[in-house]
């Protein structure tokens, strides 16, 4: 295949991790930016010998795939090098929660990483730079990175709730006994955490309101919410490792849809006070992609009382996460 489009530069942190291993091959194959867009992968790992060695192995495998679209790779533990001229920065790497670690400490440790990365991206990435955060706590890490940017506006920074949307879509389809594609407009509000709100009240199934097709409303408010909210933990319990392929797939969906004008999907963005969220937090909500990389929030979705109550809970959690790191954001 030959193509004349200029390569898109995609920086990926945590590139040798398990999500990275499921992600990079999809990007290089064209799943994220389309079959006509060459890519250069700028792979960033922690400055740890074992991680860099593993990254070399992943790069060898990428070479061995002979992907026609893959026009180059950079392997580095230096963020200044990895984010240089990046059009997209996919922030997957994060510090995991260790045994007995307090959530506030996790927030602070990750805060340091995302402050540094936010500053460097702002300084060295491309003029059209876009950032997608996956590393947890994803919403707050995204807010932290965005807080450091002077050149790039907050709308350039998004966090991923697409895995939650995909999970919710499948659960609704299974319950209704319909094909997955019959389920539309299921959007995730709030935090990527068990407090997330899978707003079934606006979903449709085969063109009808989901609440008319699924009449077991106790299931929607109980097991459905629980299953989607705690799916990550269920996968760890079953697989002995956290979601990786499905998370990588969701990131492909997140970025591809943000590059596709007209796409409607759930993205965690700066709330600016919409849907009752604190203006300063990054919260999942429905967006419509306008031009490649840009979007507008879909406003005016009426939430049912149950979902509104849940939005208040997930907002409270986001506000608390922000409060735990707010002293780090200045200076």
Task: Name the minimum Å distance from CB 85 to ligand NAX.
Answer: 18
Q: State how far the alpha carbon of 113 is from the alpha carbons of 19, 108, 110, 220, 322, in Å.
A: 18, 9, 5, 38, 15
Indicate if the alpha-carbon torsion angle 139, 142, 148, 150 is positive or negative: negative
192 is catalytic: yes
Segment 226-285, which members bind ligand NAX (CB under 6 A)? 232, 242-244, 247
Is residue 17 at the binding interface for ligand NAX, with CB under 6 A as the rule?
yes
Is residue 142 at the binding interface for ligand NAX, with CB under 6 A as the rule?
no
Let me know the angle formed at the C-alpha of 144 by 14 and 242, rounded to the nearest 5 degrees: 35
Decide if 183 contacts 210 (C-beta within 8 A): yes
Mask for 189-228, x = binds ligand NAX (CB under 6 A) = ---x------------------------------------
CA distance 230 to 305: 22
Residue of this chain nearest to ligand NAX (CB atom): 17
Element (H, E) at 120: helix 103-124
CA distance 27 to 8: 11
Segment 85-114, which members bind ligand NAX (CB under 6 A)? 92-96, 113
Which of 165, 173, 11 has the alpha carbon at shortest distance from 84? 11
Is residue 18 at the binding interface for ligand NAX, with CB under 6 A as the rule?
yes
Q: Token pair 């060695």 is at which residue? A: 53
Is residue 118 at the binding interface for ligand NAX, with CB under 6 A as the rule?
no
Is residue 160 at the binding interface for ligand NAX, with CB under 6 A as the rule?
yes
Segment 30-69, which members bind ligand NAX (CB under 6 A)? 44-46, 48, 51
- Of 113 and 255, CB closest to ligand NAX: 113
Which residues lie near ligand NAX (CB under 6 A)?
Answer: 13-14, 16-20, 44-46, 48, 51, 92-96, 113, 134-136, 138, 160, 163, 192, 232, 242-244, 247
């Amino acid at each position: 295949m030959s193509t004349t489009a200029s390569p898109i530069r995609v920086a990926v942190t945590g590139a040798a991790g398990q999500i990275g291993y499921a992600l990079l091959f999809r990007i290089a194959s064209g799943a994220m930016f389309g079959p006509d867009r060459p890519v250069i992968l700028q792979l960033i790992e922690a400055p740890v010998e074992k991680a860099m060695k593993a990254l070399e192995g992943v790069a060898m495998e990428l070479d061995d795939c002979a992907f026609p679209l893959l026009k180059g790779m950079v392997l580095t533990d230096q963020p200044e090098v990895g984010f240089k001229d990046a059009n997209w920065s996919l922030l997957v790497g994060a510090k995991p929660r260790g045994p007995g670690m307090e959530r506030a400490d996790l927030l602070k440790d990750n805060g340091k990483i995302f402050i540094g990365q936010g500053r460097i991206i702002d300084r060295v990435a491309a003029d059209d730079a876009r950032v997608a955060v996956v590393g947890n706590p994803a919403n707050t890490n995204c807010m932290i990175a965005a807080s450091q940017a002077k050149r790039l506006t907050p709308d350039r920074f998004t966090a991923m709730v697409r895995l939650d949307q995909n999970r919710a879509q499948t659960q609704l389809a299974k319950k209704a006994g319909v094909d997955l594609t019959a389920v539309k407009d299921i959007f995730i509000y709030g935090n990527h955490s068990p407090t997330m709100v899978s707003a079934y009240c606006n979903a449709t199934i085969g063109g009808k309101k989901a609440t008319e097709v699924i009449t077991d409303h106790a299931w929607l408010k109980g097991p459905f919410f629980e299953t989607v909210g705690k799916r990550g933990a269920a996968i760890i319990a079953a697989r002995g490792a956290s979601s990786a392929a499905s998370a990588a797939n969701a990131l492909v969906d997140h970025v591809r849809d943000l590059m596709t004008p007209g796409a409607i999907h759930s993205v965690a963005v700066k709330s600016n006070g919409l849907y009752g969220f604190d203006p300063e937090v990054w919260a999942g909500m429905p967006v419509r992609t306008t031009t490649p990389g840009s979007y507008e929030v879909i406003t005016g979705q009426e939430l049912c009382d149950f979902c509104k109550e849940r939005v208040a809970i997930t907002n409270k959690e986001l506000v608390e996460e922000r409060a735990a790191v707010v002293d780090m954001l200045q200076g």
